[in-house]
Every structure is written in structure tokens, then in C-alpha cells.
């Protein structure tokens, strides 16, 4: 195997053109100037591919191998579509468009026979408070240490912050007066 360097030229962008040694299954890409280096031996097939160019294959001969270099000029390829099929026309009304869709709904726990919770998801602080009040030992220890009271205050503060973000400054002013 010998390293072959080269320059790719073309009418369009020449960076990131795939240079593939199909025989040895090695590959590289060109840099911004179209330069590349790839290992090859006599009779290896080197393919140059990019979406904007016609694929070109070169078989390594004695001249390329002895020079250790090659220059490739790629010809531009116009990608034309024979036909374009546009799906259903969207109306802009989400409920109507979803109803017209052929998409399948996601599988949920009821579809597979598993009972599940469909209520509002608890926040992290609400889950911690729930754990602090579960069981006799947790209730007693957290009640005596003041942790339950602190967690309740955190939950209340979290709800206040959420509502103030949702409804703006007017709600924030009312709540701060209530808290003080």
C-alpha cells in the first residue's frame, strides 16, 4: 500500500467529497481546497462521490502509483425529480389536520393492559413532601425536625412562582402581599 495524494476540482463546492478505495474498503474526504490522501495499491478502484457531482471511478495504474499523486476533475450533476407527490393539504387547524392524518397514535399503558396514572404529575418538591409524610417513622422524624413544614413552604413557593410566571406581575404583587 502506498499513500496517494490528490486534488479534486469541480464547478461547485469541493470540500467533503467522498474518496473511497472500493478494493481495500478505506475512505477519506477532501478538505476545503479539494485535497485528499488515501492508501492504495496497483489496480485498486478509487471512487469520488458527492451529491452535486457525477460519481467518478479511477483504477490505480503504474503512472499514478509511481507519481503518488493524481488530479481529478468532477462534472456537475443536476439532480432532477421525475415527479413530486405532495400529501394532504394542511388547513392550519390543528384538530382538523390531526383528524385527517393517517398517523397512528402512540401506544399507552391502557393499550397493553397496564393500569396507569392519568392525573397531573407531581413536581419534584411535591414528591419529596409526599415521601416525607409517608409511613409512621418518616412522619414523626420529619414532623419533629421541621422538615415537613419546610417542604410545605417550598411547595407553596414553587406554586407561587409558577403562577407568577404564568399570569405576570399582577399575580406576583397579590401573592407577595398575602405572604408578607
Residue 30 in 3-state DSSP? coil
All cell numbers assigned to 17: 467529497
10-31: pLDDT as tens digits: 998 999 999 999 999 999 999 9
CA dihedral (155, 159, 162, 168) positive or negative: negative
What's the average model confidence in pLDDT over 148-161?
A: 89
33: nearest Cα among 89, 71, 1, 2: 71
Does the pLDDT at position 175 exceed 70?
no
57-88 pLDDT, tens per residue? 999 999 999 999 999 999 998 878 787 767 66
28: which strand partners?
19
Q: Model-level pTM?
A: 0.47
C-alpha cell of residue 172: 406576583
pLDDT in tens, 85-99: 676 666 777 777 777
Q: What is the predicted pLDDT for the residue at 82? A: 82
Could you tell me what percentage of the chain is helix, strand and coil, using 3-state DSSP and rounding each to the nearest 5? 35, 25, 40
Amino acid at each position: 500500500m502506498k499513500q496517494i495524494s490528490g486534488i479534486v476540482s469541480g464547478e461547485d463546492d469541493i470540500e467533503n467529497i467522498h474518496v473511497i478505495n472500493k478494493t481495500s474498503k478505506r475512505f477519506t474526504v477532501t478538505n476545503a481546497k479539494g485535497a485528499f490522501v488515501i492508501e492504495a495499491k496497483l489496480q485498486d478502484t478509487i471512487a469520488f462521490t458527492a451529491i452535486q457531482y457525477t460519481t467518478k471511478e479511477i483504477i490505480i495504474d503504474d503512472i499514478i502509483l509511481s507519481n503518488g499523486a493524481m488530479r481529478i476533475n468532477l462534472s456537475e450533476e443536476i439532480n432532477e425529480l421525475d415527479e413530486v407527490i405532495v400529501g394532504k393539504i394542511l388547513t392550519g387547524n390543528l384538530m382538523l389536520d390531526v383528524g385527517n392524518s393517517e398517523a397512528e397514535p402512540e401506544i399507552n399503558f391502557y393499550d397493553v393492559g397496564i393500569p396507569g396514572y392519568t392525573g397531573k404529575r407531581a413536581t419534584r418538591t411535591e414528591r419529596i413532601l409526599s415521601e416525607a409524610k409517608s409511613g409512621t417513622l418518616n412522619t414523626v422524624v420529619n414532623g419533629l425536625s421541621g422538615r415537613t413544614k419546610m417542604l410545605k413552604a417550598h411547595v407553596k413557593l414553587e406554586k407561587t412562582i409558577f403562577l407568577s410566571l404564568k399570569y405576570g406581575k399582577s399575580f406576583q404583587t397579590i401573592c407577595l402581599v398575602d405572604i408578607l
